[in-house]
Structure 1
Amino acid sequence: MTRQTRVRIADLPAAKRAQLLEALKAKPAAETTGPNHYDVVIMGGGVAGLTLALHLRKVRPQLRLLVVERLEHPVPETTHKVGESTVEIAAHYLRDVLGLGEHLEQRQIRKFGLRMFFSNHDNTDITQRVELGSSVFPPHATYQLDRGRLENELGRLCVEQDVELVTGSRVQQIDLAAEGTQHRLRVSVGDEEREVSAGWVVDATGRNHLLQRKLGLQKEVGHAANAAWFRVGHPIDVSTWTDDADWQGRVEGRRELSTNHLMGPGYWVWLIRLASGSISIGIVADAKRHSFDEFNTLERALVWLAEHEPQCHAELRQHLDKVQDFRVMKDYSYSCDQVFDGNGRWCLTGESGIFLDPLYSPGLDLIAIGNSLVVDLVGRSLDGEDVTAAAAIHDSLFRRIAEIWLAIYENQYSLMGNATVMSSKVIWDTAFYWGVFGLLFFQDRFRRVATSPTVANDLARLTGVSNRVQAFFREWAGIEDRELEPRFVDLYSPLNFMVKLHGGMADELTDAQFAERFAANTRLFEQLAGQLISTVIETHGGRYEDDHVVAQIQAWQRDPLIGELVAAYRRDRRRNPTSEGWMVLGAGSATNHVSTIEEVTYA
């Protein structure tokens, strides 16, 4: 109802006003009863739609929920969908918010963190590559997922909890309603059709983009990359690629349980062990460096691997008879102009709205964050609140978070062949994820950011710092021409700030304590950025004979934000010393570790 309409109703005589209000009440009542009306219709029953249904059911047990899914259930366990690795936000959402801990521990694989092996010349000996990863399991568990197995479990739970899950069905037509009336959908199930009404409609159809296309919300991004992947019914294990005892002994866990990455100029290859006994292998490459046509069929992908990752190819060649599928995704990254509308009572979740990149596995994280905001809006709306403003705030926040995340990938694939720069970048990216996004999600603060001006201001400050540091990595790569000798870079236990940020996500914090912690993390990231920049400038400051290096250092020294970050580092480094080992700058560089965790404090 518009403001003008409300004003006209208020001007009516009391008797007429009462009569009209009774008529208005009667119409929605007729529309919101009966077997074909639902409080929420979720279009799409993949992981985004099914987790949202379970989340809504948990928070609002009386809701009438319909999930319309194109595929029949059960879906294939292994050769179903890509997206087989979780990090902390998604793991917390599945395990602790939705209660899937038993399934994850017994039917999936606990992940040994991410692990990267950077290219070294011909890539024929894994021991001659710089390895970045953890030597121990961090305390907050993450998982490798057979997606089909997970979605079958989610579907079973939905049915068990009286969510109406209609598989083998399609949404043929959507009529989004005006304010105060019900949305109409025409759904086909086999040869039959039915019409349903809904208070809220959520698009979880993934790349079908039903609402995004209908409403013209598509938004291109500046990140152009392609991917191909396949599953093999044999557990290929990077640890069997060498008998070197020293290499084998430098980590406590099994490397095959990590999300393993083979990194090279403009590309990375994933190897993800699955509980079904298969392994998922994927090629992801910058479109400017590696043409999609080079790896868009299985035969071409094998030739590409033989050229760029010959040791991986040699292992794979022994098991070609066990290849189970082959899929591709061209120009996979995109965004959206809007994902939540409180007045229109519609939302997008998962890949129906935004998809960024598979590196660091953000897809399920964005589902977790987005679903939590959807649940908040639907619940408040059904309580009678006008959520128009709240939806606008949630929408702006979600898309801002996605933009921060996108900057991690956009124009950054060129760095993947530079082990020196990428080692520091991966540690920075992981720390930022734990200390900002992870802390916000574990503490259930995304839906409340706008209610805390100090947190909102700190997030704005962190956005600027993050974007400047991502640009700094590119600038640094432009002058960093030394190769790292083979070594192991531990991204967790020797680094005091990493241990603190990881463990701190799940601390029990009051509102005041959370605001203090978020402010402390903001100062910490300013300090870490200043530490990185100061160290790089000091390392390259003596290269007076190289005009390009001199010009770059002078540009950094003139940059006001860089000046602020360096000043923050100099101000706080004695009060709050941070480990130096996250900056691996080649032979002769100082990489002294601050070994005691207690030296990092939250002021």
Structure 2
Amino acid sequence: MLSHQTHKISNMDVDVAIIGAGPSGAIAASLLRQQGHRVVVIEKQHFPRFSIGESLLPCCMQFIEQAGMLEAVNNAGFQFKNGAAFSHQGRYTTFDFTDKFTPGPGTTFQVQRADFDKLLADTAISQGVEIRFGHQVDAIDLTHDPRLTVTNEQGSQYQVNAKFVLDASGFGRVLPRLLNLEQSSTLPPRSAIFTHIEDNISDPSFDRNKILISVHPKHKDIWYWLIPFSNNRCSIGVVAEPHLLQRLSGSLEQQLLTIINEEPVLQRLLTKANIVQPCATLKGYSANVTTLATNKFALLGNAGEFLDPVFSSGVTIAMQSASMAVACLHKQLNGQKIDWDSQYSEPLMQGVNTFRTYVQAWYDGRFQDVIFYQQANNTIKQMICSILAGYAWDMNNPFVKESERRLNTIVELCREPNVA
């Protein structure tokens, strides 16, 4: 009888251990490798694997280029994206991301994340990054330098000794769980139901170069995403507070089809669509933490804070946090003293809180009034467009610097009754 044998894996010493090989992990690993640091990435899953967050923002392209991955992404055949379209009760408006206030790329891609994330990880590997797929972080000891306890798929454990740990584990939120950092989000709990479809859309009015965000005709805090891909497929999903979805009956697929058919534009566009992937749901996804970083670890992207999918900010925040954390970490590894609160957490949260302003205003209706306002001032629209394109850290933009006050001023103007 054959006995199962496990082979002990040697402990390893690195400068930086990264948990997770998604966009923030791959970008951070690439940047650190460029700077000559010893890095290992521990990834629980094998790629390709499904993920949502498929409509990138132009701001992402800066970090992709910084990591030496732009050529690979440009040549991958992803769906070109130049803006966002919004639809509600017969009203339709668009934001062209090339017509924005902030300098920087104005176009990007809409991607099936399984392919996109694998491309970034493979490119990082080609640059010399070691990624250990199918390995799981079980424990962390911060008594001295960080020490991770990792288990491989055969059940063997080993230690990774590092000078610093970056948590890029996304919704896995490894360090927040292990270090008890999790904190309730300030946003109400919401649920999403989503899938991929073969869309077969023939309507010439449909712009495949933009994400389409549609608002439910009766409930302004129920909204849908429709994200076209380059292969005659789309990602389709609906987001709402759970009580608004409880009236739906049947399977997840039946629930999703029922609520899609309540929105006339989507019903018309998707008459010939076929679901090609099992429907899935994500509940209570908004998250927060008590600490984003210390001199031993930093949380990147969704591992630290996730707001809401409405403006596709997740991957942008992930990549922005990776770039900012690596800039601080490179200095620390070279002997400089870093104040992680003032040099990483606070600057990162400036942009996150700008997005938060617009997420909250979307659900309470204020930002929807601005989006669908017909007599928009072009300069103001360019400033808001910059935020929708991901440039939420541009302190030269008044709508970033004073996001709440500026937005409320515009809301009042948009809500003023027209004088006959």
TM-score band (shorter)?
Answer: 0.7 to 0.9
Structure 2 residue identity aligned to 1:190: E
Label 1:356 to 1:346 Cα distance change in 2 as closer, same or farther (>3 A).
Answer: same
Superposition map of 1:185-584 within 5 A = 185-191=148-154, 192-224=156-188, 225-232=190-197, 234-237=198-201, 240-241=202-203, 248=205, 255-264=207-216, 265-287=220-242, 290-291=244-245, 294=248, 297-306=252-261, 308-313=262-267, 315-316=269-270, 318-320=272-274, 322-342=275-295, 345-387=296-338, 389-410=339-360, 412-415=362-365, 420-424=369-373, 431-432=383-384, 434=386, 465-471=402-408, 476=412, 533=413, 537=416, 539=417
Distance 1:405 1:311 in 2: 27
- Greater Rg over alpha carbons, structure: 1
Q: How many residues align?
A: 397
Given candidates 58, 82, 97, the residue that maps to 2:52 is 82
In the alignment, which residue of structure 1 is the partner of 2:111?
145
Give the counterpart letter for 2:23 in structure 1.
Answer: V
Alpha-carbon distance, 1:312 to partner: 2.3
Q: Deviations over 1:354-402 (max 9, x none)?
A: 1111122111111122111111121011111121x25443212222332
Amino acid at match of 1:196: V
| CA spacing shift, 1:424–1:286, aligned 2, 3 Å | farther
* Partner deviation per Cα, 1:297-336 (whole Å, 9 max, x = no partner): 1111111222x2145235545333x421212111222222
Identity %: 20
Q: Which residue of 2 aligns with 1:576?
A: none
Which of 2, 16, 26 is the equivalent residue of 1:50? 26
Q: What residue number does 1:154 align with?
A: 120
**Do structure 1's residue 107 and structure 2's residue 77 form an aligned pair?**
yes
SS at match of 1:364: helix
Q: Return the offset for 1:135.
A: 7.3
Partner AA of 1:69 in structure 2: E
CA 96–203 in structure 1, closer or farther in 2 if over 3 Å, else same? closer
- TM-score of the aligned structures, taking structure 2 as reference length: 0.83
The 2-side partners of 1:154 and 1:135 are apart by 26
2:228–2:234 Cα contact (<8 Å) kept: yes
The one-letter code sitting in structure 1 at the alignment partner of 2:285 is Y
User: Partners of 2:130 and 2:21 in 1: how far apart?
Assistant: 11
> Does the 8 Å CA contact 2:293/2:299 hold for their aligned counterparts?
yes
What is the rounded CA distance, in whole Å, between the counterparts of 2:28 and 2:111 in structure 1? 18
* Equivalent position of 2:7 in the other structure: none
Secondary structure of 2:185 counterpart: coil
Which residue identity lines up with residue 142 of structure 2 in the other structure?
L
Counterparts in 2 of 1:11-22, with a 5 A limit? none
Structure 1: segments with no counterpart, 5+ residues: 1-33, 120-128, 243-247, 249-253, 447-454, 477-532, 543-587, 589-603
Code of the residue aligned with 2:322 in structure 1: it is N
Partners of 2:347 and 2:165 in 1: how far apart? 21
Query: How far, CA to CA, are the matches of 1:229 and 1:439 in structure 2?
Result: 27
Instruction: Specify the alignment match of 1:597 in structure 2.
Output: none
1:412 corresponds to which letter in structure 2? W
Moved more, 398-407 or 193-202: 398-407
Q: Is the 8 A contact 1:203 1:347 kept in 2?
A: yes
Report the Cα offset of residue 286 of structure 1: 4.1
Q: Taking structure 1 as reference, are residues 436 and 287 closer, same or farther at Cα in structure 2, changes over 3 Å only?
A: closer
Which is richer in helix? 1
CA distance in 1, matches of 2:149, 2:96: 54
Q: Which residue of 1 aligns with 2:64?
A: 94
2: CA distance, partners of 1:134 / 1:157 = 32
Q: Distance in 1 between matches of 2:96 and 2:323?
A: 33
| 1:400-441 Cα distance to aligned partner (Å, 9 max, x none) | 33222212112532428x965432499857624627996686
Which one is further off, 256-265 or 100-109?
100-109
SS in 1 for 2:328: helix
Shift of residue 230, structure 1, vs aligned partner = 0.3
Q: Who is 1:133 aligned against?
A: 94
SS in structure 2 at match of 1:266:
coil
Which one has more relative contact order, counting CA pairs under 8 Å at least 6 apart?
2
Distance 2:306 2:382 in 1: 19
What secondary structure is seen at the aligned counterpart in 2 of 1:412?
A: helix
The equivalent residue for 2:3 is none
User: Residue type matched to 1:68 in 2?
Assistant: I
Structure 1 residues 469 and 439 mapped into 2: Cα distance closer, same or farther (>3 Å)? closer
Distance 1:267 1:145 in 2: 24
Counterpart of 1:422 in structure 2: which amino acid?
I
Q: Which has the higher strand share?
A: 2
1:287 Cα deviation from its structure 2 partner? 4.7
Q: Matches of 2:382 and 2:173 in 1, distance apart?
A: 30
Partner of 1:304, secondary structure, is helix
> Which residue does 1:565 correspond to in 2?
none
Root-mean-square deviation over aligned CA pairs: 3.2
Could you tell me which runs of 5 or more consecutive residues in structure 2 were left unpaired when the two chains were aligned.
1-9, 100-104
